[in-house]
Every structure is written in C-alpha cells, then in structure tokens.
Amino acid sequence: MKIDKLFGGIAYQFLIPDNLEVELFDLKFKSPIIASSFKSDKNLIGIWLKLGLGGAILKTIMKDERKGNSKPRLQQVRLERQACLVNALGLPGEGVEKFSKAIIDNPLWNHKKPIGLSIGGENLDDYIKTFNVLDTMSNKLKSSKYFFELNISCPNTDTGSTIGENIDELETLINHIRAKNDSVVSVKISPDWNNDHLKKIGEVIKSKEKMIINAGNTQFKTIEYLGFKNGSLPRGGGGLSGVAIFPRTLELVNLFNDMNLKIMATGGISTIHHLNAVKDAGASLYGLATALIMDPYCIPKINYALSRVK
C-alpha cells in the first residue's frame, strides 16, 4: 500500500502501553487484542499490527486452491443499530502449498508478534495434509512466534459440514498435531452449536497441552432472517459478524471459563465495554474482525482505554 510506505510511520504507528502484555504458554502478546482469521491481505494486517494489535491470525488456508462461493458473497446489514457484515465467501484462497512458500519471508514476521496459521478442511484428511505442509514450513521460519488455529466451524464449504461436529475426528486431528509439533493450538468453534456439544469439545481441549479455545465465529443467518432478497447470498445465507453476535460470545466465554480453559473471545467485540465484559467472564485474548474494517483506529483506542483500567 502506497499510503503505508509514504506515511505509515505517522498515520499507523502507535505504541502499545507497557502494562497490557498477556502471556499464554510460550507466547507473549504485547496487547491482548488480535486480528481474528478473516482477511487475506497481509499488507492490511501489517497496518493493523502497527496500529497496536498484539498479534493476528491469518485467513484460513485449505489443502487446495479454492475460488470460494459465487458472488455476491458479502453484504452489509444494520442490526442492533450497528453496521454488521454477512459473508458467504466459502474460504477462497491459494492452497497450502503456495501459501507456505509465500509466508516464510513475509514482512509480518518482522513485527515480532504471534501469528496464527489457520487450518481448514472438508474432512479429517484435508486437515491433516494441510497441517503437515505447514508443520514442515514452520521449521524454515526465522520466527518462533507462531501458533496454529483449527477452524473447525466454517459452514460455507462444499460439504456443508465441519470436523467440529465429529468429536472423535477432532481428537484424532489434535493428537496428530501434538505428535509432531508442540506449538500452541487454538480451536475455533461455532456459536451455532448447542452448549452440550461445545462442552464435549471443551473436554477434548482440556485434556491436551498448550490449547486455547476460540469462542467463537460468525453466526449463520438465512437471507430470510436478514431481510435480503433471493440471490443476495449463495447457499441461502451467510455468517453474521459484528456487535449483534456479542451476547452469544459472552455466553460462550462464561461456558468455557467454567471448564477452566484458556479462552480467546471472538465475535462482536468493538469497544472497551465489550472487551471488559469478556475479560471479566474469563477471556485472556480478544479477537477483532468487523471492528477492524469499520474503524481500524479502534485498536489504539481500546489499548489506551484498557491500560487505564488495569
């Protein structure tokens, strides 16, 4: 981005207050707010890191190159008197082989902040093959500030189902990762699953080492619920993000805190008030998505406000 090259040191460079650092296992986050996994533009992610994010999770990568769903696949909607986004992107991307070659020397590592590598798939075999490529690539990284995230909850795929619906397969995947790599692993769940199922996932995560649960993701809404016309989104709906989904995020944090899990709260967080609510409920990290698009300067604002209450 030309603006970043010309004025990035002035427009985007914000110091993170010293008292915000959060340590989870062997990862240190200078700020507990991070970019959740949704954006593929690494230059833009770099700007957000300059603005004061403590880390970022890259867009979910799949085994093979994907074009994603047909367009239009992204819409804006106003709910709870706030602008929200609805996406049915379908995880478009370059595929893990191309991704792994390009990410090794990417300038994002120069920020020396934890970067999450998000893994998706249509089935267990896809997840394992994608992880194996990333695991091999990680041995070539100059930075040790990385972790894996398992996106087990995206419904916008060809099968319409997710590995998170099969507890045995999820545990098989985590065991495979743990046998090869001891890096931190985050598991991104769906807020659409019922609490009994989420508790079963929590029990699996609790039994493994160096695990974080990311609560949660977008909430699937039909075009009828959203008041859209037919053809507004593929697959009859999409994942809602923004402040309208925050109440469920807070509920999930309370649920997993009762299980003594390490928690990243994601979904509807855009202000210090949201952050304080999930912090008080037990979350240690706070993932932002829609808020970064609507107002990236919420990053230094939240950092400053958070430093005042610590």
86-103, pLDDT tens digit by residue? 999 888 899 999 999 999
Q: Return the axis-axis angle of helices 298-309 and 272-281, rounded to nearest 10°.
A: 50
CB atoms inside a 10 Å sphere around CB 104: 13
- Residue-level pLDDT at 4: 55
Buried b (16+ CB within 10 A) or exposed e, 178-203: eeebebbbbbbbbbbbeeeebeebbe
Q: Over the stretch 69-78, which tens digit does the pLDDT of each residue have? A: 889 999 999 9
Region of residue 203 (phi > 0: left; psi between -120 and 50: alpha; otherwise: beta): alpha
Q: Over the stretch 245-295, which tens digit does the pLDDT of each residue have? A: 999 999 999 999 999 999 999 999 999 999 999 999 999 999 999 999 999
Mean predicted lDDT score pLDDT of the chain: 92
Query: Which region among 27-31, 114-118, 121-125 has the lowest average model confidence (pLDDT)?
Result: 121-125
Structure tokens at 301: 């604002």
Least Cα distance to 184 among 18, 23, 25, 1 occurs for 25
pTM of the model: 0.92
User: Given a cut of 50, is residue 6 above it in pLDDT?
Assistant: no
User: Given a cut of 50, is residue 192 above it in pLDDT?
Assistant: yes
Q: Omega of the bond prior to 72 within 30 degrees of 0, cis?
A: yes
Q: Over the stretch 168-186, which tens digit does the pLDDT of each residue have? A: 999 999 999 999 999 999 9
User: Given a cut of 60, is residue 1 above it in pLDDT?
Assistant: no
Q: Domains in the chain, start-ordered, CATH in brackets?
A: 23-304 (3.20.20.70)
Q: Over the stretch 130-141, which tens digit does the pLDDT of each residue have? A: 999 999 999 999
User: Given a cut of 80, is residue 154 above it in pLDDT?
Assistant: no
Q: Over the stretch 217-236, which tens digit does the pLDDT of each residue have? A: 999 999 999 999 998 998 88
Amino acid at 18: D
Q: Over the stretch 233-253, which tens digit does the pLDDT of each residue have? A: 988 899 999 999 999 999 999
d(CA 97, CA 295): 33
Query: Which region among 11-15, 110-114, 240-244 has the lowest average model confidence (pLDDT)?
Result: 11-15
Using CA of residue 99, residue 104, residue 106, residue 111, what is the dihedral sign?
positive
User: Given a cut of 50, is residue 80 above it in pLDDT?
Assistant: yes
End-to-end CA distance of the chain: 35
